[in-house]
């Protein structure tokens, strides 16, 4: 029997590199890079690249060009089988799929408010799902701005990081943070009837032992996950790096649930909260 597959869903700049590097410390687990990041040229040849698989599969079978539901199911089944054979000997494959990538798995007709096909597929096929959420969405947004400016998206050591100073436009920041919060709300809603484990980035960084224990339990790993991250933070303390820190300081620790992101999302979250309270 091949390896189990687990999806790691998150918005970018949520700590997926950190989580993947921690999971990668377990010998039975492989957690390759973003499967829909068709980096050219080097990542294109990576075994885990969905696009690489799709490219080969479409060359071999022209029917796979046409994004109908049966075709997509076949494509996904084939992709997971391919990964299992690529990572023979592993017991668990963790696939990093960013929110902004799930559309690549959707098939022909899709209402953008409907659950993405990948989430439906995960539920139907009993895939494990990790939902990594960085609650402090203003910090997520700033991390993206900083990476854009510095050109450093990930670093394995302090030497690879870069200290620069940036000015943050408050209006742009608020817009971005609200967009992230809306995305999280939508995914939370889509995942509500799909078994999954939600991991908070803040817990992962501040209460690592508990987070690793719950990951071990959810993923059914025999051995504890070693607390030896392979990446370091790329964004320095914000007071050192943001020129107008005083202007945005009050926003930094707001939780995504505290943001006004539309009546519908709020109503849904309230309804779920009430259900949980009643339960």
Partner 1 sequence: MSVDAVPAARRRRKLDGKNIQAETLCFVIGRPRSGTTVFKAMLQTHPEVWSLREVLNENNPRSYFNFLRRLQSEDRDALLPSRSVANFVKYLGWCRTTALEKQPQNKVVVLDVKYDQAHLLCEPWWSITSLPRIFSLMRELGCKVIDVHRNDVVRLVISNQIAIKTQIYHSNKLEPGTGQEAKVHIDPDRLQREVNATFQAYEKVTRHFRGYPGYLQIAYEDMFEGDAFSEALVQRVASFLGISAQFERKPQLSKLLADDIFSYVENADEVRASLARQEPPRTAVTSAGATESS
Confirm or reject binding of residue 100 to partner 1 (CB under 8 A): yes
Shortest Å distance, C-beta 264 to partner 1: 7
- The single residue listed with the structure tokens 């107008």 is 244
CB of 172 to partner 1, least distance (A): 12
- Indicate the residue among 62 and 222 with the shorter CB distance to partner 1: 62
**How far is 81 from 103, CA to CA, in rounded Å?**
21
Site string for partner 1, 27-66 (x = CB under 8 A): ---------xxxxxxxxx------x--xx--xx--x--xx
Q: Is 153 in the site for partner 1 (CB under 8 A)?
A: yes
Of 2 and 78, nearer to partner 1 (C-beta) is 78
> Could you say which of 1, 60, 88, 151 contacts partner 1 (CB under 8 A)?
151
Residue 172 sits in the site that holds partner 1 (CB under 8 A): no
Written in H, E and C, the secondary structure of the chain is: CCCEEEEEEECCCCCHHHHHHHHCCCCCEECCCECCCCCCCHHHHCCCCHHHHHHHHHHHCHHHHCCCHHHHHHHHHHHHHHHHHHCCCCCEEEEEEEHHHHHHHCCCCCCCCCCCHHHHHHHHCCCEEEEEECCCHHHHHHHHHHHHHHCCCCECCHHHCCCCCECCCHHHHHHHHHHHHHHHHHHHHHCCCCCCEEEEHHHHHHCHHHHHHHHHHHHCCCCCCCCCCCCECCCCCHHHHECCHHHHHHHCCCCHHHCCCCHHHHHHHHHHHHHHHHC
The residue (of 88 and 113) whose beta carbon lies closer to partner 1 is 113
Residue 38 or 200: which CB sits closer to partner 1?
Answer: 38
- By CB under 8 A, tell whether 110 contacts partner 1: yes
Does the protein bind partner 1 through residue 210 (CB under 8 A)?
no
Q: Which stretch binds partner 1 (CB under 8 A): 89-97, 99-107, 124-132, 160-168?
A: 99-107
Instruction: Give the range of 111-119, 160-168, 216-224, 248-256 binding partner 1 by CB under 8 A.
Output: 111-119
Within its chain, how far is the Cα of 256 from the centroid?
16
Judged by CB under 8 A, the chain residues 222 through 251 that form the site for partner 1 are none
Q: How far is the CB of 223 from partner 1 (least distance, A)?
A: 33
Long-range contacts (CB closer than 8 Å, 24 or more residues apart) made by 222-225: 222/28, 223/26, 225/22, 225/23, 225/25, 225/26
- Closest to partner 1 by CB, 55 or 239: 55
Name the residue nearer to partner 1 (CB basis): 35 or 219: 35
Task: Supply the minimum distance, in Å, between the C-beta of residue 179 and partner 1.
Answer: 5
Confirm or reject binding of residue 218 to partner 1 (CB under 8 A). no
Instruction: Select 111 or 278, whichever has its Cβ closest to partner 1.
Output: 111
Q: What is the rounded (10 degree) CA torsion for 161, 166, 170, 172?
A: -70
Binding site for partner 1 (CB under 8 A): 36-44, 51, 54-55, 58-59, 62, 65-68, 98-104, 106, 108-114, 116, 148, 151, 153, 179, 182-183, 186, 263-264
């Amino acid at each position: 029997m091949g390896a189990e597959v687990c999806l790691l869903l998150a918005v970018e700049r949520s700590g997926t590199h950190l989580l993947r590097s921690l999971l990668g410390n377990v010998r039975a687990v492989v957690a390759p890079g973003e499967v829909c990041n068709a980096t050219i040229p080097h990542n294109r040849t990576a075994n885990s690249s969905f696009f690489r698989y799709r490219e080969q599969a479409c060359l071999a079978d022209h029917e796979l060009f046409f994004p109908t539901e049966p075709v997509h199911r076949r494509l996904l089944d084939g992709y997971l089988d391919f990964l299992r054979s690529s990572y023979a000997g592993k017991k668990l494959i963790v696939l990093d799929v960013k929110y902004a990538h799930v559309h690549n798995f959707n098939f022909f007709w899709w209402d953008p408010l409907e659950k993405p096909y990948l989430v439906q597929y995960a539920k139907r096929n009993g895939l494990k799902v990790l939902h990594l959420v960085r609650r402090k969405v203003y910090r997520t947004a700033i991390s993206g701005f900083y990476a854009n400016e510095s050109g450093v998206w990930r670093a394995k050591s302090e030497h690879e990081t870069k200290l620069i100073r940036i000015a943050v436009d408050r209006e742009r920041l608020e817009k971005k943070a609200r967009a992230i919060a809306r995305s999280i709300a939508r995914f939370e809603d889509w995942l509500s009837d799909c078994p999954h484990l939600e991991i908070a980035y803040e817990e992962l960084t501040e209460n690592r032992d508990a987070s690793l224990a719950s990951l071990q339990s959810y993923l059914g790993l025999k051995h504890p996950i070693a607390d030896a991250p392979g990446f370091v933070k790329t964004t320095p303390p914000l007071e050192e790096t943001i020129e107008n820190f005083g202007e945005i300081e009050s926003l930094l620790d707001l939780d995504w649930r505290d943001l006004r992101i539309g009546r519908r999302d709020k109503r849904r979250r309230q309804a779920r909260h009430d259900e949980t309270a009643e339960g």
